[in-house]
Amino acid sequence: MRHRRSPITWFKNQELARKLILINFFLIVIPLGILSYFAFSRFAAAMEHKVGDFQLQAIKGLTLNLDTYMEELDRLTLMPYQYEEIIRFLESDRRGEGDNPLSLEEIKALNNFVTQVFLNGRVDIMGVSLFGEKGASYVVLPESQYVTTYSLDENAEWLKRQQGGSGQSVFVATHEISSTSGATYQAFSIARELRSFDSGKKLGYIVIDVDPSVIRGILSQVSLGSREHIYIADWNNRLVAGKTDAEPAELAGALPSSGEMPSQGVSHAVVDGERQLVAYVTSPITNWTTVGIVPAKELMKDAEGIRQSILLFGAACVGIAMLASVFLAYRMTRPLRTLITLMRKVERGDLKVSFPVRHWDEIGRLGKAFNTMVSNLSQLGYLLYETEIREKDAQIAALQSKINPHFLYNTLGSISMYAEMDGNRDVVRMTNNLSRLLRYSLSSHKELVTLEEELEHVKGYMTIQQMRYEERLDFRLSVHESVRGCMVIPLMIQPIVENAINHGIDKGAGSGMIAVECERREQTLVITIEDDGIGLSDEQLQHLRKRLLFSKDTGGRSGNGLLNVHRRIVLHFGPAYGLRLESMPYRGLKAIIELPAIAAEGILKGEKHA
Amino acid sequence: MKHKRNTWKVWRPACCALMALLVMTACSSGSEERGQPVAETGAVTLEFWTPFSGGDNQFMSALVAAFNREHPGIAVTQVNSRLDDYYSRLRTAILSGNAPDVAVLHQTSLPQFVKNGYIEEMTKLAGEGGIEWDGFSAHALNAVTYDGKPYAVPLDTHALVLYYNLDHLQAAGLLDDAGKPILEEGAEGFLRFLGKLKEALPGNIAPLAEPSTRIDSVWLWWSFYNQMDGGGAFYDESASRAAIMNPKALEALEYVKKLYDNEYIPPNINDAFKLFYDGEAATLITGMWGTGAFEKADGLRFGAVPVPVIFDKPAVWGDSHTLALPIRHSSTPEQKQAALLFAQWVAEHGELWAEAGHVPSWRGSSESEAFTGLPFRSDYAKAVGDVAYWPRHPRQWTVIEYLIQEFEKMIYGQQSPAEALEAAAKRIDAELRK
């Protein structure tokens, strides 16, 4: 768990593929996230602006539509000017209690006038009222006959607005009117002050009551959203008509304070804890404000959808990118993992592996180097293996030569016994030596023997040879005391001596001198076997040296004894040691064996090494 | 091989750019989807014109609302006008091709609409829609049938009744134990009854409330004229001349004039209905439609009885509301079927309409407990049997206008009853010659 100390260390310890994936992840997700965030927020802001504009335009259109209608109603309030009887009626003095009832002609004129107003206006006119300055009153309410006893409410707010006005009509917000039969109706009104052109004096007022359902009908043609509020309110925020039944009072906070309110605009407000987009337009004709309120959330529903799709697309893109990145990362590091697997195999000793180099990139080069390394290793191993086989071969050869050694011993023993009985001392000595020789060579399964033992063997061999060659053999042995206990390879000196006899004595040249000298030079045991025979020509010597250096052939049974000895030494002690030859034609041959000087005590150690 | 890895290096930024582009297009395509119009609800819309006043409109509005609740697929919009303007408005609408889908027509004005082909012959449509004509009372069905074919759905019969203020009559000692007015038969008896009321009550209480203008005096005259044996003739046999210049007609009108002259009916009343409603009249003779409104009036205790028999036999002016389907070339078969369904439904719910005061034409309604259980109606329902309808004549509605105008002049003292009848007869003859 030490590698978890810090994220950086942790990261550094991750697999290469994971590192690549992580890096890709951050490279993709962070820029994409930032891009999406900014794109969306810019878009949302632009959209809100557009939606606000759209809403304002819709409200404007609505107001215009209503104004056309209102202008038409407004014109109706001018009708009294075209009827002399009406003007006369308004001028008439009717302040007396119950006096001066309407004449039949007046009734006819007024009825006719009202019918004209009703018929020329739209269906939704509910009532017409005429109020004269001097008490004349003629009021038609829905479902009722005319009433002459109603007088103008002097405290009506619209009246105050009207006074000092320019003769323009006032639009009064929706209020309740009751018919004579008790039913009550909602109506908004248009009131106009009527003046006499001749005298310049005020004549009275005409008030026309209209069913607000017509406004509702116009409002219902506009839709701003499913949770909208569209309504029309007058200057005191009294409801004229709304598309829904919501009271403007609870929405009043949504509008900017009426004092400095511009005639149109879009603002934001919080109603019921929800952010609302408020568009409003004040009509120059009615002085009413058309207000459209829609929760911002409602308007931004589309934007919300877009955000969802951005998230969805983003997630899909990141997902695809990450899949690709994972694929590529693993794809790119796969050769490395292959290499690691191959390495493990090599570790376990399987050298028959090879890395397939496909691309000439760094990994390809690494693979190539790996292949070279494995191939070298495998060659080395082959050499080792070969040596072992050769040793086996040698042993088999030796075994073959051990043909019934007991029979040979017994035979030699019999020969020795007969010679003893006959008194032939030479034959006894010869057979005894031969028997010892045989035993040594047959029992030489040990890897190492002391130089002493090896020299004993050589001496026994030379005794026999001296008997063969009689006085022609001059064997000289000189052994330094310090090297007698050194460990040597068995049957190492005898083949060289045999070779010296064969090449030195048998060719007939020289005095037949064979000298063996053992000495120690620093850590090296040097055994020199010298003869004064015919020697070797330069050519022969070079050939032989070359064979010593390069041949892997141990010679076997038929091979050269020198080669055999050399290979065995090299195999056993390494190429630093071995057999060297020095010779001159007719000056004899000098074979020098160099071995590490290992004392008998070192046997144990040496065996461990092997 | 080396360039293969480089390809990826080149493509990665390109992929990122592509993704960014995708995101941007997602934004832009989204912004184009701003839907504009909101789909209309697929309801069949019907325009329904009514001429109601004096309180019955609120009952019709309630009926229409109930119908709309029960039939989500149909939206009926009621447009009510004053009776004074109703027919001029309807005439204009029909002539300009903007007729409503359903209109209330008085039985009296029906001949004109039938003759000129302004309304649908019902069996043509009802064959598909299925109106149960058997469900209507015989006289109601008869009233809408022309040449054996129904042209409208009869809604009700309404006739004049005498409303009386219990408190005022009690104060005058003219109320019996059953709460009925103590009223003598005959012309003199009724005058004495009113005379006693005038004496007993303060000056601001009208013994009998009738407006000094408008149709009410004509209704009174027609009722009284028809109460006489041998009375009630309006046209001659060929229906080409007025037949009202006769002693019986004059006697009836003089009786009406007497009510005004004696100020049993005070002068300058414009809204008699309101007067009674406000408790400022002891009696009122008007249509049955007042009942529903008076029942809702605070502090008004009243009763209703048939119009007293002044002359030989009971008879009273009456009329019927019918539902007709003006011919509209622009209306769809769905609208026509819906209009039929609406007419049938309204007629079948006569007990609700009866709450206004009328006697429903649908037998299922007029015989239902919902109707018979209503107060007052049982007191005057039998008056329906005595109804004296106006003659069935295409120009009847116009002709009545002349009567109104001449009678108004008479009430205002500008001419005598005889002069009024003569003037009216002249104008009628002129009208019939057209």
Is the pLDDT confidence value at A504 over 90? no
Is the pLDDT confidence value at B31 over 70? no
Q: What is the mean pLDDT of residues A25-40?
A: 85
Of A151-155, B147-151, B356-360, which gets the smallest average pLDDT? A151-155
Chosen domain end from A340, A361, A396: A396
Domain assignment of residue A123, yes or no: yes
Q: Between these two residues, A476 and A601, which has the higher pLDDT value?
A: A476
Same domain for A578 and A452, yes or no, is yes
Domain assignment of residue A166, yes or no: yes
The pLDDT, as a whole number, for residue A6 is 83
The verdict on a CB contact (< 8 Å) between A145 and B270 is yes
Domain assignment of residue A413, yes or no: no
The alpha-carbon gap from B405 to the nearest alpha carbon of chain A, in Å, equals 10
The pLDDT, as a whole number, for residue A508 is 64
Q: A–B: how many Cβ contacts below 8 A?
A: 137
The alpha-carbon gap from A217 to the nearest alpha carbon of chain B, in Å, equals 12
Chosen domain end from A167, A192, A211: A211
Instruction: Give me the CATH number covering residue A463.
Output: 3.30.565.10
Is the pLDDT confidence value at A441 over 80? no
A43 — contact with chain B (CB < 8 Å)? yes
Mean residue pLDDT across chain B: 86
The pLDDT, as a whole number, for residue B227 is 96
B413 — contact with chain A (CB < 8 Å)? no
Task: Please write the tens of the pLDDT for every residue from B120-173.
Answer: 888 877 665 578 888 898 888 888 999 988 999 999 999 999 999 999 999 999
Region for A313 from its dihedrals, namely left if φ exceeds 0, alpha if ψ lies in -120 to 50, beta otherwise: alpha
Is the pLDDT confidence value at B1 over 50? no
The alpha-carbon gap from A302 to the nearest alpha carbon of chain B, in Å, equals 7
Same domain for A382 and A473, yes or no, is no
> Which of A103, A107, A309 faces B30 most closely, judged by CB atoms?
A309
Q: What percent of chain A has pLDDT over 90?
A: 4
The verdict on a CB contact (< 8 Å) between B1 and A359 is yes
Assign B317 a pLDDT band (cuts: 50, 70, 90): very high
Is the pLDDT confidence value at B254 over 60? yes
Distances (CA, A) of A143 to A146, B46, B86, B91, B348: 10, 22, 12, 20, 25
CATH match of B44-155+320-348 with 3.90.650.10: no
The pLDDT, as a whole number, for residue B40 is 44
B33 — contact with chain A (CB < 8 Å)? yes
The verdict on a CB contact (< 8 Å) between B34 and A101 is no
Is the pLDDT confidence value at B321 over 90? yes
Q: What is the mean pLDDT of residues A398-425?
A: 77
Which of B12, B33, B82, B406 to mutate to test binding with chain A, by most A CBs within 10 Å of its CB?
B82
Of A292-296, A440-444, B60-64, B264-268, which gets the smallest average pLDDT? A440-444
Question: Looking at the 3D structure of chain A, how many domains does it have?
Answer: 3
Instruction: Give me the CATH number covering residue A168.
Output: 3.30.450.20
Of A78-92, A216-230, A424-438, give the range with the top mean pLDDT: A78-92
Same domain for A392 and A468, yes or no, is no
B53 — contact with chain A (CB < 8 Å)? yes
The pLDDT, as a whole number, for residue A549 is 79
Is the pLDDT confidence value at B113 over 70? yes
Taking the CB of residue A141, how many other CB atoms lie within 10 A of it?
25
Same domain for A452 and A568, yes or no, is yes
Q: What is the mean pLDDT of residues A309-329?
A: 87
Q: Which residues of A341-361 are buried (b: 16+ CB within 10 A; e: fewer)?
A: ebeeebeeeebebebebeeeb
The verdict on a CB contact (< 8 Å) between B27 and A40 is yes
Assign B257 a pLDDT band (cuts: 50, 70, 90): very high
Domain assignment of residue A150, yes or no: yes
A149 — contact with chain B (CB < 8 Å)? no
Q: What is the mean pLDDT of residues A41-48?
A: 84
Chosen domain end from A378, A396, A414: A396
Residues from chain A contacting residue B57 (CB–CB below 8 Å): 142-143, 183
The pLDDT, as a whole number, for residue B200 is 93
Domain assignment of residue A375, yes or no: yes
- In order, the DSSP letters of B105-165 are EETTTHHHHHHTT-B--HHHHHHHH---GGGB-HHHHHHHEETTEE-SEE-EEEEEEEEEE
Q: What is the mean pLDDT of residues B309-317?
A: 93
Same domain for A376 and A481, yes or no, is no
pTM of the model: 0.63
Q: How many CA atoms lie within 13 A of A248 on its CB side?
A: 24
B234 contacts: CB under 8 Å, gap ≥ 6: B242, B243, B244, B390, B391
> Which of B16, B37, B89 faces A28 most closely, judged by CB atoms?
B16
**Domain definitions of chain B by residue range:** 44-155+320-348, 159-318+391-433
- What does the block give as tokens for B117? 């082909």
**Which residues, numbered 516 to 575 in chain A, qualify as contacts with chain B under a Cβ-Cβ cut-off of 8 Å?**
none
Is the pLDDT confidence value at B192 over 90? yes
The pLDDT, as a whole number, for residue A99 is 61
Domain assignment of residue A416, yes or no: no
Same domain for A360 and A473, yes or no, is no
Q: Which CATH superfamily is domain B159-318+391-433 in?
A: Periplasmic binding protein-like II (3.40.190.10)
**Helical ranges in A163-268 per DSSP H:** 213-219, 248-251
Same domain for A356 and A483, yes or no, is no
Domain assignment of residue A343, yes or no: no
Same domain for A482 and A385, yes or no, is no
Is the pLDDT confidence value at B23 over 80? no
> Which of A39, A103, A183 faces B57 most closely, judged by CB atoms?
A183
Same domain for A388 and A458, yes or no, is no
Range of the structural domain that residue A384 is part of: 351-396
The verdict on a CB contact (< 8 Å) between B80 and A143 is yes
Same domain for A175 and A96, yes or no, is yes
Q: Evaluate whether A504 touches A514 at the Cβ level (below 8 Å).
A: yes
Q: What is the mean pLDDT of residues B208-226?
A: 94
Same domain for A537 and A449, yes or no, is yes
Is the pLDDT confidence value at B35 over 50? no
Q: What percent of chain B has pLDDT over 70?
A: 89
The pLDDT, as a whole number, for residue A444 is 58
Task: Please write the tens of the pLDDT for every residue from A210-231.
Answer: 888 888 888 888 877 777 788 8
Task: Please write the tens of the pLDDT for every residue from B384-411.
Answer: 888 999 999 999 999 999 999 999 999 9
Number of helices followed by number of strands (H, E) in chain A: 17, 17
The verdict on a CB contact (< 8 Å) between B58 and A146 is no
Angle between helices B396-411 and B216-227 in degrees, nearest 10: 100
